[in-house]
Structure 1
Amino acid sequence: MAATFGALAGVKVIDLTQMLAGPYCTMLLADQGADVIKIEPVGGDPTRQFGPFPEDDTAHHFGGYFQSTNRNKKSVAIDLKSEAGKALLRRLTKDADIVVENFRAGVMDRLGIGYEVLAAENPKLVYAAIRGFGDPRTGSSPYVDRPAFDVVAQAMGGAMGITGPDAATPLKIGPGVGDIFPAALAAFGIMAALHHAVRTGVGQFVDVAMYDGILAMCERIVYQYSYLGKSPSPEGNQHPILCPFGTFSAKDGQVTIGCPRDSFWRELCVVMGYPDLATDPKFATNNARLAHAEETIAMVEAWSASRTKAEITLALDGKVPFGPVNTAADIYADPHVAARQMLVELEHPGSARPVTVASTPIRMTATPGGVVHRAPLVGENTSDVLLALGLSSAEIDALKLNRVIAGV
C-alpha cells in the first residue's frame, strides 16, 4: 500500500466490520492515514458480492459497494470460529490502538474475544461497536437482540417520519444515512477515546446505536415536540421553521433557495423585482413569511419557474444561498467537484478501466490524508501482516493448509 501522510499515520486499527456502517467508520480512519487491517472470513466479506461490477469484470473480486468503503485498507482473512484464529486475533490486538466491530451484541463475547478479553491484554485499547440498538455495557435496550439496517434506523430514529410529500407518505432518504451518520459519530467517539487513551494509557468501550445516531441527527423533532406538543410530519421540500427554504421549479429542472436570514430575503426581493416586499409587514421577517408560507413560496416559485437554472444562477450568485438539484452526471461535470478533487479514480481488479469513488471531504493543510489505494483482495495482506507479527513462513503455510487463514 502506498504511504499515507494523514494525521492518523501510525495508528493501528483492527477492523471486524461488514456491510456499511462499520466499514464507513473505519474508512474515515483509513482516509486519514490509520493502518486499518480488515479481518475477513476466509471466504471473504459477503458484501464483496454486492454490485455494481464493471462490464468487463468477470473475476468479481468485489463490486462498487465494497470498493467505495474499503479503500485504503489491508485484508487479513481469518476463521474466528477456530481456536487458532481467535489466538491470532488476540495477537493482532495486543499492540492495536483501536478495534471496531458491528456484530450483534454478544457475538464477540460468545466467541471469547470480546472487549474485556482483549482489553485485559491491552489496557489502552479503544474498542468501538456500532449496533442497531446499542450494547448493554452502556445501557441495555429492549431491542438489543434485534438486527438492524439503514432503513430500520431511518424509520425508528425519526428521519422517515419527517421526509416525504405529506403526512401519509413517509419516505426513506436516498443515501444510507442510517448507517453513515452513526458511522461518523462512532469515528468521532473513537478519536475522543483515543485522545483519552494517549493521555492516560487507559482505553475504553465506545458504543453507538444506529437508532440513537439517527435520533441525534433528527434533533429538531425533539425540541419541536417539547415546545409545541405535536409530532412533526413529513414537510415536503420546504422547511417548518424557515421560509422560503426549499426546492423551486426551473425551466430545466429544480433549484434550492434558502433565506434563513431576513437580509437574504431582501436581496431575493430585489432580484425578483419586488423590492417593496422586503418591508411589507406580511413578508419582512422570517416569522411573518412563515405565517404566510403558501403565498411566499408561490411568489418565489413563479419567479424561478420562468427561468432556466443558468439564469437563476446568474441572478442569485453571491447574493442568496441557492444551488441546482444535481444528478450524478451533473456532479461529475461540476467545476467545484473537480477543483476540490472529490472524485477519485481507483484500479478495479478484473477490469481494464479504473473506477471512480467519492473522496474524503475532510481536508487538512499539514496532514491531508486522502484515497491512495483500492480495496484489497480477500486476504491480500494476510502473509505480510502475520510475518510482521512474528510468525514464520512455515507457520503461515500451516495455518493456510488448515484453513485458519486465507490469502493470495
Structure 2
Amino acid sequence: MKKYPLKIVIAGHVDHGKSTFIGRLLLATQSLAPEKLAEIQKISKELGKDTEIAYISDQLKEERENNLTIDTTQTFFKTKKRKYTIIDAPGHLEFIKNMISGATLAQTGVLIVDAKEGIQDQTRRHSYLFQILGLKKWIVAVNKMDAVDYSESCFLNLQKNLLEFFQKIPAEPYAVIPISARAGENISRKSDFMKWYTGKPLLDVLDSLDMEDKKIKESLRLPVQDVYEKQGEKMPVGRISCGSIHKGQKVIILPEVQEATVKSIEIFLKKTKIAKESENIGILFQEMLSAKRGQIITQRENPPKPTQSFEARLFWLSDEPLFVGKPFSLRCATQEVQATIDKIIEKRDSSTLDLIEKDAASLAKNETAIARFHTNEPVLVEKFSEIPELGRFVIEEKSSILGTGIVQE
C-alpha cells in the first residue's frame, strides 16, 4: 500500500554533495526524463566536464558555471511506496535564508555530511535549524564514503562526533547512513563496499518513515487564509494543518472565540461531508460570522487559548541585531501580529551552542536564544512539541525573514 507523499529538505555544508545526492536519487528511482539527461550531458560537454550528476538539480545557468546552488529549488521523485518532493537548500552561509523559506515547507530532512571533512559550521547550523523548523525523523547521510575507502572506523568516529553535538541542541536523528552519492553506494540497495553497515539503504529508510502523530491527528487546526463571497455568504478558505472537519460539526473560531456550526464544506468547488489534514477547503457556516484571514478554526472540545505572551527558542538571521523591546512583525501560520521581545533569557553561538550571555540586551546574526515574546494583540500559538504548525513562527520586516523560532511555553 502506498504511503502519503513526503516533503524533504536536503541541507548541509557547501561542497558536501547535496546536488550530487539529489541527482543520484533521481537516477536511482528513474525519475529523470530522457531529455533532461540529454540536457545535462550537453551542458557538461560545453563546460568541458564529464557528465555531472549534480547538474540535474542545479538548474540555473549561473549555478552551473559557478558550481553554486543559489536558490531553493524543488524536485520530484517517487518510489514504489510513495511520492517525494525534494527541497534543495543552499549550504553557503549567505544563502541560509533561502534554506529557511524552503525548509518551512518540509516535513523531514536529510543532512549531508562529507565523510572526509566532517562537521563544519553549516552542518551545525542546519541541524539546529532542522530542530527549530520542526522536522521530524530527519536523517544524516555521511556522503563521499568512497573518498575514505568506505572505512568503517571513519564512519563510526564521525557518527560519534555528530551524535555528541546533536545532544547539545538537543536533537536526535532518525538514522545515520553511510553513502556515496557519486558512486551510488547505499542509496537504493545495500553497498558491497560497506558490508559492515547493518542498516537499510537510504531510500528504504525514507520509505519506512511514518510521520503521523495521533494527538495532532485528533486536534483540528484550520488557519484561515482568505474569505470569499459565495451567494451573499462569507466562505473562509484555508488548508487544514491537522485533524479533520465534517458537516454539522460545532467549531470555535479564534482568537475572537466565535462559536459556529459547519453548514457545508467544499474542496475545489465540490461539496464533501468531511475534510482531512493537508486538504485545501472552503467552509460555509449556519451562523453569520465575522471571518477574516489569520483566524484559526478549531474543535469546540478543549480548544487552545489565545495569548499575548509566550517563550520560544529563536534563531536570528539578519545582519541587523535584534534588541529587547524593538517591535517587529511575527507570522505564525496565517496570523500576523506586531510583537516585541521582553527578555532574552540566554543566547548561544549557533555553531558550537556554547553559552554567550544570560539576560542579554540583543541578538546578533547566527546567534540563537531562548526569549520571552509579547504581542500587541491575542495570537494562537502552541507548544511546538504538541502542534508544530502553530508552534513555529518567523519574524519579518517588509516580507524579508529576519529570524525563525519554535514555541516552548
Q: Same fold (TM over 0.5)?
A: no
- Which structure has more relative contact order (CA 8 Å, sep 6+)? It is 1
Larger strand fraction of residues: 2
Give the TM-score normalised by structure 1.
Answer: 0.27
Structure whose CA Rg is larger = 1
